[in-house]
Amino acid sequence: MSTPYPFTALVGQDDLRLGLLLNAVSPAVGGVLVRGEKGTAKSTAVRALAALMPEVAVVAGCRFSCDPGAPDPACPDGPHEAGTGVSRAARTVELPVGASEDRLVGALDIERALSEGVKAFEPGLLADAHRGILYVDEVNLLHDHLVDLLLDAAAMGASYVEREGVSVRHAARFLLVGTMNPEEGELRPQLLDRFGLTVEVAASRETDLRVEVVRRRLAYDDDPAGFAARWADEEAALRERIVSARALLPRVVLGDGVLRQIAATCAAFEVDGMRADIVMARTATALAAWAGREEVVSDDVRQAALLALPHRRRRNPFDAPGLDEDRLDEALQDAADEQGDDDPDPDGPGGGVPPQGGGPESDGGGSDAGGSDDGGTDDGGADAPGREDTGSGDAPAPGGGGEQQPVRAGEPFRTKVLSVPGLGEGAAGRRSRARTEHGRTTGSRRPEGALTKLHLAATVQAAAPHQRARGRSGRGLVVRRDDLRQATREGREGNLVLFVVDASGSMAARQRMSAVKGAVMSLLLDAYQRRDKVGLVTFRGKDAEVALPPTSSVDAAAARLESLPTGGRTPLAAGLLKAHDVLRVERLRDPSRRPLLVVVTDGRATGGVDPVALAGRAGRLHASEGTASVVVDCESGFVRLGLAAQLARDLGGSAVTLDELRADSIAGLVKDITAAGRAA
């Protein structure tokens, strides 16, 4: 077994270490989600935490790690008699992104359950993680139904496996830790809320700290055992401190004064529901225990808010997580003034912050680093010289038009549902019809490999004619492997939504481009909610470019859109051909994910010989490959040429205007994008 990197040898990342340690002290906090760029020691820190966890006593031979002092009466391996057990190290169980539902929660032997009436159960990863750590790397890439099962088990402390009326329950209490890189896609807000704490991590920009990180990592790689030995004393001291804090935790007093501060803070930041209040209370209590105090103070509440509220205050997916610390201080002070209670300063500097650092001041460093990714988008709102939209036409700027500064996107709105026709088999999502593991049952088939979803009626129907030949004499049904039938289900899939956006001079009028960006932003928001991958191709001047390769990070697409400059000629054909290249590569990478091409243009084309005809040929190339498409017609003014509608016909898709794109418009609802001359 490889030697883990010592937790105490980590450089910086104070909030990350604090969040993990608080959960080690009090698993009731609800776990921690670690968000940050690649290469910031997220996985290293989580794996290092396992060595600090106290040993656990378990019933010998129990696959579900029952506590010998209070064994689970419903344990599938029970009943167990209370008594002495054996001690072992706390486990760290990793959940792979591609794991199946049965691998996570366990599986029943359906054949034995039907024919013998016994609960032959094979435990899953939730059982392995009981009383230990369950680590999910790239949790944002985990399928939604697995995340739901995972978080439900974490909230209830138990896992339930149901198969056609046969059920098994076992305890599943664990420290849940998820890590993710926001560039690869976000978690839905309701799933974010299920994590107790969240921390943002970023690489330090200080030269000395970066040098020390490299020095320690090279020393560890050269001699892992020797490096760990040099940190053994610090590891032992931190382990003892965790044990002491756990013992102190039940005696910590959460007074009415600080409880009112917690409630007032959550109300001031308008977080949804009551989970934030509960998590803050548990976190503040854990902070006091970590600091060796038996009473929660105001500094504990402040630190708890910085860990528990940033991911809960996001009002839409494009809001960057974070907390206004000045507003936080005001809320805490207002609550203190209302109750007329001046809380004493905590004993010693830093209050509930561990000795490595991680006070409120350190949170700002991560926020600054994380915010730098979006720093260029703020300039888009600055007023810049440009032509006013007179509404009289869409002529390009003289001489092809120079580049104009980006404009802000208009207010997003709820869009109509755009979906790909037919029945797909792509990744689970919420856009187009598909054969999925979850959804309504539409039929049955013979299983290929392990049976995951039993179709009971079809199984009984297959076994019934053979009962006499099989010598059935009792009440049980004689079922063979060949009788089992897998349920086929229909649900929804996520698609690849590739945006091709006209950024030329004909689109450059400020009011018009703001509306166009608002429409694309609305479609991006819809793609986020439907769990799509997105990509962005823009064309202007003489050529087209891939502004964003296909990704699950809708945030990244929104940021690129905000900073999109406009001006120049309109190489529409180049944009369509660039999109064709992107889709060709993506079909090889992810053949099961069906694409939806969204072209945002007024249909005009300039440059070269007969550019409109060239764009038509490029459109027919997409149609010949069966790519579902829709054209968002941005033409405005009294004189309309209808070029976008013609482009939609060449693509074999449909055209909608900006007004028709709104879900509340009275025009017909665009449900499916059908290819002309093809059956859906």
Instruction: State the catalytic residues.
Output: 275
Q: 103: closest CA among 133, 136, 127, 132?
A: 127
C-beta neighbour count of 286 within 10 angstroms: 29
Three-state SS string over 13-62 comes to CHHHHHHHHHHHHCHHHCCEEEEECCCCCHHHHHHHHHHHCCCEEECCCC
Angle at 589 between CA 584 and CA 592, to 5 degrees: 90
Residue 680 and residue 674 in contact, taking contact as beta carbons nearer than 8 Å: yes
Instruction: Taking the CA atoms of 71, 73, 77 and 81 in sequence, report the sign of the dihedral they define.
Output: positive
- Residue 390: HSE in the Cβ half-sphere, 13 Å Cα cutoff: 7
Q: Is the peptide bond before 79 cis (omega within 30 degrees of 0)?
A: yes
Q: At what angle do helices 325-339 and 298-308 cross, to 10 degrees?
A: 140
Residue 181 to residue 424: CA distance in whole angstroms:
28
Residue 127 to residue 57: CA distance in whole angstroms:
15
Residue 186 to residue 293: CA distance in whole angstroms:
37
Residue 68 to residue 90: CA distance in whole angstroms:
15
What tokens appear for 20 in the block?
A: 């993990």
Angle at 533 between CA 530 and CA 538, to 5 degrees: 120
What tokens appear for 643 in the block?
A: 């070029």
362 to each of 12, 199, 356, 677, how far by Cα in Å? 9, 11, 11, 61
482 to each of 442, 470, 479, how far by Cα in Å? 21, 13, 8
What tokens appear for 45 in the block?
A: 């820190």
What tokens appear for 493 in the block?
A: 């899939």
Residue 572 to residue 538: CA distance in whole angstroms:
9
Which residues does 306 contact at the CB level (< 8 Å), separation at least 6? 15, 323, 325, 328, 360, 363
DSSP lists the bridge partners of residue 92 as 133
DSSP string of 132-183?
SEEEEETGGGS-HHHHHHHHHHHHHTEEEEEETTEEEEEE---EEEEEE-GG
